[in-house]
């Protein structure tokens, strides 16, 4: 079936630097693309999402970019902090799908070095 | 706290045993989801409830898995004749009906280990 995947399994970043996490998707019919952060022992936590008709969306210290031509999604974290250390997942969501279920990729672990 | 809660947080069982995992959604949320997360993987959809009924159970791997939500609030995921391959973190999420995926709030999960 269609799936969402990631390029890099682990990303080491110096504190204060910017982080970029990438994701490739295959379902061009998805309506939303969502980034989640998951810390050890916790459930995924919503970070930011972007509708399929947008190219860029900014939040607090985070920016999501969507390139529909190459089916690529990225999450940029500005001035990475130790608290940003976690696993990050991209997910896609089709509004038409029953219950708006989410399809997740495999995750990227971000390690912030002091 | 007003978040999604799951019990137990950890469950260790032996192969062949029966287990029940419980989810308490956010009050007022009519939609409830179960996902399964294997080590190093993203969560995988299992089943979705709208109210008391299972609107989509296409993610359940086989007939050993069953879930109920009899009163439209608390849900129980039931696994019969557990196998070692069932070991994973089982996540529950809830949302207000009709909202897009961003508004699914996840619980901390139940870590199931089948020996």
CB spacing of A34 vs B101 below 8 angstroms: yes
**Average confidence score pLDDT of chain B:** 93
CB spacing of B101 vs A106 below 8 angstroms: no
Query: Can you read off the two tokens belonging to residue B89?
Result: 């973190």
A23 touches A11 (CB < 8 A) = no
Tally the C-alpha atoms within 13 A of residue B108's C-alpha that lie toward its C-beta: 11
CB spacing of A107 vs B45 below 8 angstroms: no
Q: Which range among A100-104, B60-64, B71-75 shows the weakest confidence by mean pLDDT? A: A100-104
Burial B34-56 (b: 16+ CB within 10 A, else e): bbbbeeeebbbbbbbbbeeebeb
Q: How far is B38 from chain A (nearest CA, A)?
A: 10
Number of continuous H segments (helices) and E segments (strands) in chain B = 0, 11
Residue A99, pLDDT score: 66
> Is residue A38 predicted with pLDDT exceeding 70?
yes
**Average confidence score pLDDT of chain A:** 88
Q: Residue A27: pLDDT band by 50, 70, 90 thresholds?
A: confident
Q: Tell me how far apart the terminal alpha carbons of chain A are, to the nearest angstrom.
A: 41
Query: Can you read off the two tokens belonging to residue B67?
Result: 């879930």
> Is residue B81 predicted with pLDDT exceeding 80?
yes
- Residues sharing a CB contact under 8 Å with residue A1, sequence separation 6 or more, in sequence order: none
Query: Can you read off the two tokens belonging to residue B55?
Result: 């609107």
Find the mean pLDDT for residues A48-64: 95
Q: For residues B71 and B86, what is the distance between their CA atoms, to the nearest angstrom?
A: 27
CB spacing of A43 vs B48 below 8 angstroms: no
Q: Residue A7: pLDDT band by 50, 70, 90 thresholds?
A: very low
Provide, for chain B, the percentages of residues in helix, strand and coil under a 3-state DSSP scheme, each rounded to the nearest 5: 5, 50, 45
Chain B residues with CB-CB distance to A under 8 A?
A: 4, 31, 33, 35, 40-45, 48, 50, 55-56, 59, 91, 93, 95, 99-109
Q: Residue B98: pLDDT band by 50, 70, 90 thresholds?
A: low
Q: Which of A57, A90, A60, A59 is nearest to A72 (CA)?
A: A90
| Mutation site for B-interface testing, chosen from A50, A52, A101, A105 by largest number of B Cβ within 10 Å | A101
B74 touches B22 (CB < 8 A) = yes
Tally the C-alpha atoms within 13 A of residue B81's C-alpha that lie toward its C-beta: 3
Residue A69, pLDDT score: 92
Residue A2, pLDDT score: 40
> Is residue B106 predicted with pLDDT exceeding 80?
yes
Q: For residues A30 and B28, what is the distance between their CA atoms, to the nearest angstrom?
A: 27
């Amino acid at each position: 079936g269609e799936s969402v995947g990631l390029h890099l399994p682990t990303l080491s970043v110096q504190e204060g630097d910017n982080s970029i996490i990438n994701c490739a998707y295959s379902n061009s019919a998805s309506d939303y693309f969502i980034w989640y952060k998951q810390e050890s022992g916790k459930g995924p936590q919503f970070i930011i999402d972007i509708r399929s008709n947008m190219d860029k969306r900014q939040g607090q210290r985070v920016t999501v970019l969507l390139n529909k031509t190459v089916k690529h999604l990225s999450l940029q974290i500005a001035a990475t902090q130790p608290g940003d250390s976690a696993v990050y997942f991209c997910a896609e969501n089709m509004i038409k799908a029953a219950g708006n279920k989410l399809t997740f990729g495999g995750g990227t672990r971000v390690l912030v070095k002091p | 706290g007003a978040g999604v809660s799951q019990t137990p947080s950890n469950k260790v069982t032996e192969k062949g045993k029966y287990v029940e995992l419980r989810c308490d959604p956010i009050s007022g949320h009519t939609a409830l989801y179960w996902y399964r997360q294997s080590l190093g993987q993203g969560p995988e959809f299992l089943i979705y409830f709208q109210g008391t009924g299972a609107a989509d159970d296409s993610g359940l791997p086989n007939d050993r898995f069953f879930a109920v939500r009899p009163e439209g609030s608390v849900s129980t995921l039931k696994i019969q004749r557990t196998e070692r391959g069932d070991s994973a973190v089982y996540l529950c999420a809830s949302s207000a009906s009709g909202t897009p995926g961003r508004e699914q709030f996840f619980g901390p999960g139940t870590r199931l280990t089948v020996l």
